[in-house]
Amino acid sequence: MLGSRSVARVAESIDEVDRFIAELDEWFTAAAGVDALGQYTTQLATLSEVVRPALERNREFLSGIATGRDPGEVYDECRRADRRTVFVRRLWRWFAVRFDQRRQPHLEDVLRAADQVVWSCWAQTWQLTGAGKPGPAPLPYLDPQVSASTTPRVDMPHDLLAVRDSVLAGQVRAMPVPVIALPERVAWRPWWLVLLAHETGHQVQFELSPGGAEPARDRVAAAAAEAGAGPDEVLRWETWSVEMFADAYAAVMVGPAISWAVGELELRAGDGQLRSPAPGYPPPLVRLALLAAVTGEPAEEPTPAAAGVAGLLARVPRVAAALLTVPVGQQSLAVAAAKAAAWRQASAVWRRQLTAPAEPRPSATVEAARLCVAGAVAAWRDGTGEKDADLLRRRLLATLPGCGPDGVRAADAPAPRTVRDAARSMTDVLFSPLVEEEP
């Protein structure tokens, strides 16, 4: 009787693994159908190549349990294996729930639009900087937050910060599948998709700038020092360099539209708030001045608040110029900035088309999606779109999903070593006390 009880307990754990594998097979097939352009083929394949070996290893472990042992020991082994199965499920679901938003009817259009905007920034950057065929593009999704945020593979996901999730967060961080979280309001105010340009800038810096954040930090520090900053102030500029690179990238990609978004997010009561930096960011006045310097917008008239950051503002022109020299691929942001004037004209055309009597038509150019969003921001900003927000929303969500080159977009896969390392890390963690003994 005791032997049969142990056999049944092992069979139960094996059945759980088998059911999970069958569920994965079904999910990956359905996900491929949602991704009609193949934009996330590489990310889906990578996810599969990491979670499947871990499950197979766990099943192999369960099949090798000697059921003739003491039943308590068998049950202990099965509980450890069950924890491993749950751990893998939680890793998969962290990505799956974000991808699955594309199956929800009320989110389908806005996420198809977001996919196009990300690809517009991402693919064009790889093209202009001589980096070759684009790597796996970031996956945008909606999240209940005020602004946007990004999770490169070096950052811990913001919703996995609890101590009990630290091990899982480490595995998410090791996966070569970057994601971008957008505020939910983009579903009814899709011109806020312009935030994707800034967040994609973070991913570009991580993937394409040799040395990651270091070149931007060094160039910003040198520029600030040359412009008169003392040692303590230079350290502050270094702290801000990651966000400033993303701002400069966005300014090149979508022009003044990003200044509008930042202005909306940063406006606060009291002059002092405009002079106070948030963690990782320069003061709002400095940030807006940097965007104006990159886009070539006229500088705003000095305000009483500006007096408190006058020294920082004096450094902005040289810092902005330095950011355009940060290496990206085989070039720098300057190669894209050289096209900014033409892109700005194109976004003005989109502004008119989005509010004209005739329905706008999608464009097959790689820059179309992000410039269409920039045009929508301009229409909202000048009041044309605000008069009929529903029309602007409907037209933007009808146009954006069709913007971009035709054809499959399967990116170059991550280096095999990257995937192997992620898979090995997953298996190592899975069979460690960190997972096996989790309550």
**Is 70 exceeded by the pLDDT of residue 217?**
yes
**Is 70 exceeded by the pLDDT of residue 409?**
no
Does residue 140 form part of some domain?
A: no
According to DSSP, the β-strands at 179-183 and 139-143 are parallel
Q: Give 140's strand partners.
A: 180
Does residue 21 form part of some domain?
A: no
Q: What is the pTM of this model?
A: 0.87
181, containing H or E segment: strand 179-183
Does residue 311 form part of some domain?
A: yes
| Mean pLDDT on 407-425 | 63
> DSSP readout, 376-399?
HHHHHHTTTTGGGHHHHHHHHHHH
Q: What is the pLDDT of residues 287-340, one digit of tens each?
A: 999 999 999 887 666 666 666 788 999 999 999 999 999 999 999 999 999 999
**Is 60 exceeded by the pLDDT of residue 383?**
yes
Please state, rounded to an integer, the average pLDDT across all residues of the chain: 87
Domain span at residue 231 reads 210-325
H/E/C letters for each residue in 316-331? HHHHHHHHCCCEECCE
Q: Residue 424's pLDDT is what?
A: 78
Alpha carbon distance 34, 203 (integer Å):
24
- DSSP, collapsed to helix, strand or coil, labels residue 150 as strand
Does residue 60 form part of some domain?
A: no
Spatial neighbors of 436 by CB under 8 A, at least 6 apart, are 80, 83, 84
Task: State the total domains in the chain.
Answer: 1
Q: Dig out the tokens for 62 from the structure.
A: 């369960």
Does residue 93 form part of some domain?
A: no
Cα-Cα-Cα-Cα torsion 322, 336, 207, 123, nearest 10 degrees, comes to 170
Confidence of residue 176 (pLDDT cuts 50, 70, 90): low
Q: Residue 50's pLDDT is what?
A: 85
Does residue 116 form part of some domain?
A: no
**Is 70 exceeded by the pLDDT of residue 269?**
no
Q: What is the pLDDT of residues 126-150, one digit of tens each?
A: 999 987 777 778 889 998 888 888 7
Q: Dig out the tokens for 432 from the structure.
A: 């460690």
* Weakest-pLDDT range from 3-7, 60-64, 435-439: 435-439
Does residue 218 form part of some domain?
A: yes
Does residue 304 form part of some domain?
A: yes
Sign, Cα dihedral of 114, 146, 92, 434: positive
Q: Residue 72's pLDDT is what?
A: 93
Beta-carbon-side half-sphere exposure of residue 203 (alpha carbons within 13 Å): 29
